[in-house]
Amino acid sequence: QIQLVQSGPELKKPGETVKISCKASGYTFTNYGMNWVKQAPGKGLKWMGWINTNTGEPTYAEEFKGRFAFSLETSASTAYLQINNLKNEDTATYFCARRDFDYWGQGTTLTVSS
């Protein structure tokens, strides 16, 4: 069965870097792009962008250009979200979701606090 399994919760300080993983199984990884979605505490869903799992080309929503980076480890069917220079407002749950948003990871909770 198709699964997206994300890495565990993270507690970081402002200015640090975090890298969240999303491991796919049950389908051909390179056939479907991967989306990343942010959900701040008590808030709705915000699309961050997606990565073409065939070419590795990322596309970022305007708000997420600069400190955010999508990457792949195709041999491991894994997509990554890296956030640099963390800020308090990055505190959120981050989801990966397959191309058509038909399958989602379980979410990774990131807390940024000094």
Partner 1 sequence: DILLTQSPAILSVSPGERVSFSCRASQSIGTSIHWYQQRTNGSPRLLIKYASESISGIPSRFSGSGSGTDFTLSINSVESEDIADYYCQQSNSWPTTFGSGTKLEIK
Rounded to whole angstroms, how far apart are CA atoms 2 and 54?
18
Interacting span for partner 1 (CB under 8 A) from 12-20, 24-32, 42-50, 84-92: 42-50
Give the x-and-dash track for 85-114 against partner 1 (CB under 8 A). Answer: ----------x-x--xxx-xxxx-------
For tokens 């940024």, name the residue.
112
Is 47 a binding residue for partner 1 by CB under 8 A? The answer is yes
Single-letter residue type at 48: M
Nearer to partner 1, 74 or 106 (CB): 106
Distance separating alpha carbons of residues 25 and 64, to the nearest angstrom? 27
